[in-house]
Amino acid sequence: MKIIHITDTHLMPAGETLYGLDPSARLKRVLDDVVQSQADADLVVLTGDLTQDGNPLAYAQLGKLLADLPMPVRLLLGNHDARENFRAAFPAHPVDSHGYIQSMMPVPGSDDCLLFLDSNSAAEIGGRFCPDRAQWLRETLATRPEAALTVFIHHPPVAHGMAHFNNIGMHDSRTLMEILSAHPGGVRHIFFGHIHIPLTGTTRDGIGFTAGRGCTHQFRQDFQNPAPDWIAGVPNYAVITITPEQLSCHGVDTLDAQMIAAATFCAGP
């Protein structure tokens, strides 16, 4: 299965800018490349902060940008999103029994499952995984105990190493990680956003994780600075490939890079 991962698009109503950037133009550049270069992808996942402030007009703009994609899309909420406005704009999007934007999807041809989790907490920058969400997760995983999980969420449920986010990360990550760590089928990987910079690692329990780079604005990688610079960076996305043998993730951040030479074919030994 081939999945496109995009995060932190921070869309504004059409024609409006953010920090001097046009989030809609950024996302369109990414989606155009996905259609051109990754048309065989099975799914596109946006891991939250879809909009800058949950504006209904921004969700409408997101719908327009996604409308012509040839593959299905799963959307998650971040701290900048508004659940009610999102659900009004995307009424057919899967939700759990409590109205949280959570669902599980089987990976065709395998016992694997994709898990989409909602860490949005109204009026709070940090994320929460409340008792209702935790109970849904326990009950859902119990239906597929053998499934190896690939997890998507907005807030990182692991240590991220960015001082800016020390007080605004996942406030109850232990609950989520305990549930995932206890799952008999194991966890292949966790993908998230929120921190706007690339990060990859492995927990002591052997769970791998990756943060996507922000699609619109990004942080200077000044890890110990609680107030680092916002920077423009480049439009980007990731390509996740899941096979029975492995999971891989390629970062695509050279959409507008300058060509300096043509590579030659390497025949090998």
Domain map (residue ranges) of the chain:
2-252
2-252: in CATH 3.20.20.10: no
The pLDDT of 172-180, averaged and rounded, is 96
Identify the sign of the CA torsion 11, 46, 160, 182: positive
Residue 237 — left, alpha, or beta (φ > 0 → left; ψ -120 to 50 → alpha)? beta
Is pLDDT above 90 for 66?
Answer: yes
The verdict on pTM exceeding 0.85 is yes
Task: Give percent of the chain above pLDDT 90.
Answer: 97
Q: pLDDT digit string (tens) for 203-255?
A: 999 999 999 999 999 999 999 999 999 999 899 999 999 999 999 999 999 99
Distances (CA, A) of 185 to 147, 210, 221, 235: 5, 20, 35, 35
In this structure, the chain runs to a length of: 269
